[in-house]
Amino acid sequence: MPIAREGHFLVSHDLAETPSLGLESVNLSACIQEAKLHPYKSVFGSPCFGFTETSLDALTELPRLDSVWFWDVALKNIEALYALSALRSFGVHPKRPAIDFSRLRSLQQVVWHYKATDTGLGSLNLKRLHIWHCSLKSKGFAGLQVPDTLEELQINWASAATLDGLPTIPSLRHLEIHRCRNLESLAVLPKLFPRLEHLVVAACGRVSAPDAEWLKASIPSLRHAYVRDRKVI
């Protein structure tokens, strides 16, 4: 995620599908004006790049944003998010109030740092979802809000031992599972994701690598599978 200063402002060309402008607290008004004039459709912020606000109120001046990404921030107020009617891509760390995702109907992709009090995620027509640090009381994923419209799902650092509880997602083509140390079985993959094409399971020490012939027979659409440091297909 290269971020470099272009003139007076921090810019990333890799963080979103369009160039993304960094918001810096000491220069916040100028950043907002730059975002309006350029115009930028994507903004980001992090304390390591000078964003130290406790709210996202500045976003109210940029109602046409389609992408926001804030990390390592400690926010007390996120209400400005709900004014972004065109927001398609979203990511923010969990030191924040709970989010009602049902108020963000235009979202297409979300990086979700799991927070049990968040609501409405399952009601969205998401295409891409990355879940981070998901600790659940169940052995599987029962109760987790996952839309059944996804084309890509990535799960990082989850506590589950099985994939049970995830919804059946016929549209899912791309699945990655990383650093889920309790995960033991992939047996329900064909039932949950019958049209899967790309599978990566890495740093999940307890999971058994499935047999290639079983995978090919169970999920005929599967073109690539990498499990436990081994290319299966």
User: In this predicted model, what pLDDT tens digit does every residue of 192-233 receive, in sequence order?
Assistant: 999 999 999 999 999 988 888 999 999 999 999 999 888 999
CB atoms within 10 A of CB 37: 8
- Whether 150 and 67 map to the same domain: the answer is no
The range of the structural domain enclosing residue 21 comes to: 1-97
Higher local confidence (pLDDT), 97 or 212 = 97
pTM over 0.75: yes
Q: Which of 97, 129, 156 is the last residue of a domain?
A: 97
- Whether 149 and 190 map to the same domain: the answer is yes
Distance, in Å, from the CA atom of 108 to the CA atom of 86, rounded to the nearest integer, reads 10
Which amino acid is residue 42, in one-letter code?
S
Q: Which residue has the tokens 């606000």?
A: 53
Q: Which of 97, 124, 153 is the last residue of a domain?
A: 97
The residues facing 10 across adjacent strands are: 5
56: left (phi over 0), alpha (psi -120 to 50) or beta: alpha
Is pLDDT of 111 > 80? yes
Q: Residue 1: its pLDDT value, please?
A: 57
Is pLDDT of 124 > 70? yes
- Whether 85 and 103 map to the same domain: the answer is no
- Whether 217 and 112 map to the same domain: the answer is yes
pLDDT, average across residues 160-172: 96
Q: Which of 47, 73, 97 is the last residue of a domain?
A: 97
Task: Tell me the chain's radius of gyration from C-alpha atoms.
Answer: 19
pLDDT, average across residues 45-60: 97
Do residues 129 and 152 touch, judged by C-beta distance below 8 A?
yes
Show the tokens assigned to 6: 């272009």
Is pLDDT of 22 > 60? yes
Q: Residue 228: its pLDDT value, please?
A: 85
Distance, in Å, from the CA atom of 42 to the CA atom of 58, rounded to the nearest integer, reads 13
> Where do runs of H (alpha helix) occur along 12-158?
28-37
- Whether 125 and 183 map to the same domain: the answer is yes
pLDDT, average across residues 1-17: 92
The count of domains in the chain is 2
Distance, in Å, from the CA atom of 18 to the CA atom of 12, rounded to the nearest integer, reads 9
Q: Which residue has the tokens 């740093």?
A: 203
Kindly list the distances between the CA atom of residue 129 and the CA atoms of 85, 200, 220, in Å, as whole numbers in the listed order. Answer: 19, 15, 24
DSSP label at 57? G
pLDDT, average across residues 54-75: 97
pLDDT, average across residues 7-31: 96
Q: Residue 18: its pLDDT value, please?
A: 92
- Whether 171 and 143 map to the same domain: the answer is yes
- Whether 80 and 106 map to the same domain: the answer is no
Q: Average pLDDT over the chain, rounded to whole?
A: 95
Show the tokens assigned to 174: 């791309």
- Whether 102 and 78 map to the same domain: the answer is no
